[in-house]
Structure 1
Amino acid sequence: MQKILVTGALGQIGTELVMKLREVYGADQVIATDLKSSAHEITRSGPFELLDVTNDKAMFDIANKYQVDTVIHLAALLSATAEEKPLLAWNLNMGGLMNALEVSRELGCQFFTPSSIGAFGPTTPKDNTPQDTIQRPNTMYGVNKVSGELLCDYYFHKYGLDTRGLRFPGLISYMTPPGGGTTDYAVEIYYAAVTAGKYTSYIAKDTNMDMMYMPDALEAIIDLMEADSSRLSHRNSFNVTAMSVDPEAIAAEIRKQMPDFTLDYQIDPVRQGIAESWPHSIDATAAKTEWGFKAQYDLEAMTKDMLVQLGKKGELFKRGVS
């Protein structure tokens, strides 16, 4: 990767990935794009362009203007929001992906887009979910992700486009607020612990799902994109994970640092239904074997860092610093 275009740069992954890429490859080498602008470090620290990813010409013009050799396509509606607005989700998630693939094909770019554990469904094996297994999701988000994996495979086999992707679990970050995902409770619980000392979970206890701390997710993207293409068999759908947890496990870890933290429940039937259709734990052997994936953070290490970092953010907000 030398000149990188990122769509959805102000989203959950994009806000941190752009800054990481600029740190590694140089600020001027990473072109951030999003539907709207904001007073964010991303828009100040390097090239930024407004982009609606459903506008194929605008995407091509930006990519061509900067002569990019890599497209990282992140713009999408997440699981819970997609279930509320399925038509919008299809048009944005699939239309935007098709446009990004076509731009990459026309300009000969390397290409990345994330998939998700949402690509699995209720008939997928729940424990130690294999890399290659049945995928029959019952959500629009899941349908989008399976379709996206297949579409990227098609562009690789049909056109030789160097497409790559990861099936992310729930991603936990102290930098970016939750954005409409089913696993967002695992972000919210840390924010609530620091600000209120208590949290009401919309996901039921004993609902285990895979999670990953954002620093590991960012490293995984870069490591995959820099990996030797000849070693990749799965390309667009590598299982990756760091931990399998339920709300009680996270709360117990938080109490090691904050003994008075309390957790109760008010279940959201929609998000609980989505969660129950997903795996309890997944097998990341293919990612480890083909390009050396290894997560650095387990639940204990992540929780310690989350609470420290969120505590620092709270002090900054108190002093009026953003």
Structure 2
Amino acid sequence: MKNILVIGATGQIGSELTLELRKRYGDDHVVAGYIPSAMPKGELKASGPSAIADVTDRQSIEVVARQFKIDTIYNLAALLSVVAESRPAMAWKIGIDGLWNVLEVAREYNCAVFTPSSIGSFGEATPHVKTPQDTIQRPRTMYGVTKVTTELLSDYYYTKYGVDTRSVRFPGIISNVTPPGGGTTDYAVDIFYSAVKGEKFVCPVKAGTYMDMMYMPDALNAAISLMEAAPARLKHRNAFNIASMSFDPEQIYQEIKKHMPDFEMAYEIDPLKQAIADSWPDSLDDSCAREEWDWMPQYDLESMTVDMLEKLRAKLNK
């Protein structure tokens, strides 16, 4: 990777990935792609180039690819799971029509492409414990449907046209920088904010609801490490299971209480979030990622909790 475009650079993952890529590859070599309604601010704007790159407008992506001699595209434009259910047409337009535009530009300008998939690409018929790399994927949400289609279309462009497409199936991502924004796993971010603010947390999914989660530093490292991996080692491409921790609400609650004994939690179940969570895996088998590109997470629930509380206390001045 020499010149990188991050589409969706102001989003949940993109805002942090863009800055991490600039640290590794140089500020001038990473373009923050955005849409006019979500312009870069602060460090993201000041630290390097930015340009309009709307996945629904192929020409805007072409302009950036030409101007900055882009060789790698991180396509992070998507609606999150709960939002996608309320806006299915828009979820498809951004997730699939947008991906088509990105892949066509990549084919023309010889770019590698990373478009993340998700644990949402699985469904109720999928084995839920240690979900295999290759298994049935029959999701019943629009979010999941777009993610499965993303995997298939990305593989198609690799086998048909030789476009270097790669992807991971992200679990729920927990960040101390980017606030939650409409995902099923966002309770695992909200709970830390409530704890640090001294508020009682109301959990939208029931006890015993296990989902795979990952701390943002590990997610960023996965996205970068996979794109840096030698192509000859990759037997799979779209998309790799990656995992670092799996827990239910009670486990994360008890972990926080080790540091904040007075913290309280209650349950008020959101039927939509619960239904989506129930259709997702409890845990993933990520052995293929470990074997093919040396994937190795650095954080577990305990170490993540310590870091989240420390960072949020500093951020919120608590």
Q: Which category describes the TM-score, using the shorter chain as reference length?
A: over 0.9
The counterpart of 2:207, out of the listed 182, 205, 208, is 205
Match of 2:140 in 1: 138
**Regions of 4+ moved over 3 Å:** none
1:133-157 alpha-carbon deviations (Å, 9 max, x no partner): 0000000000000000000000000
Q: CA shift at 1:52, angstroms?
A: 2.1
Distance in 2 (alpha carbons) for counterparts of 1:224 and 1:52: 24
- Does residue 16 of the first structure (1) align with residue 16 of the second (2)? yes
Within 5 Å, give how 1:142-181 maps onto structure 2. Answer: 142-181=144-183
Distance in 1 (alpha carbons) for counterparts of 2:42 and 2:188: 24
Report the 3-state secondary structure (helix = DSSP H, G, I; strand = E; otherwise coil) of the residue aligned with 1:171: strand
Distance in 2 (alpha carbons) for counterparts of 1:233 and 1:189: 38
Gaps of 5+ in 1: none
| Percent of aligned positions that are identical | 56
Match of 1:55 in 2: 57
Report the 3-state secondary structure (helix = DSSP H, G, I; strand = E; otherwise coil) of the residue aligned with 2:131: coil
1:94-118 alpha-carbon deviations (Å, 9 max, x no partner): 1111111111111001111100000
Distance in 1 (alpha carbons) for counterparts of 2:276 and 2:166: 26
Q: CA shift at 1:38, angstroms?
A: 4.2
1:53-99 alpha-carbon deviations (Å, 9 max, x no partner): 10001111111111111011001101000001111111111111111
Distance in 1 (alpha carbons) for counterparts of 2:199 and 2:263: 5
Paired residue type of 1:16: E
Distance in 2 (alpha carbons) for counterparts of 1:211 and 1:103: 32
Distance in 1 (alpha carbons) for counterparts of 2:109 and 2:291: 31
Deviates more, 1:253-262 or 1:197-206: 197-206
Paired residue type of 1:4: I
Distance in 2 (alpha carbons) for counterparts of 1:198 and 1:254: 13
Report the 3-state secondary structure (helix = DSSP H, G, I; strand = E; otherwise coil) of the residue aligned with 1:144: helix
- Quote the RMSD (CA, aligned, Å): 0.9
Match of 1:3 in 2: 3
Distance in 2 (alpha carbons) for counterparts of 1:157 and 1:134: 21
Report the 3-state secondary structure (helix = DSSP H, G, I; strand = E; otherwise coil) of the residue aligned with 1:282: coil
Contact 1:119 1:136 in 2 (8 A): yes
Report the 3-state secondary structure (helix = DSSP H, G, I; strand = E; otherwise coil) of the residue aligned with 2:224: helix
Match of 2:88 in 1: 86
Match of 1:128 in 2: 130
Match of 2:314 in 1: 312
Q: CA shift at 1:40, angstroms?
A: 2.7
Contact 2:111 2:164 in 1 (8 A): yes
Q: CA shift at 1:39, angstroms?
A: 2.6
Contact 1:197 1:260 in 2 (8 A): no
Contact 1:122 1:276 in 2 (8 A): yes
Give the count of matched residue pairs. Answer: 316
TM-score (ref. length: structure 2): 0.98
Distance in 2 (alpha carbons) for counterparts of 1:51 and 1:289: 34
Q: CA shift at 1:49, angstroms?
A: 1.2
Paired residue type of 1:2: K
Report the 3-state secondary structure (helix = DSSP H, G, I; strand = E; otherwise coil) of the residue aligned with 1:31: strand
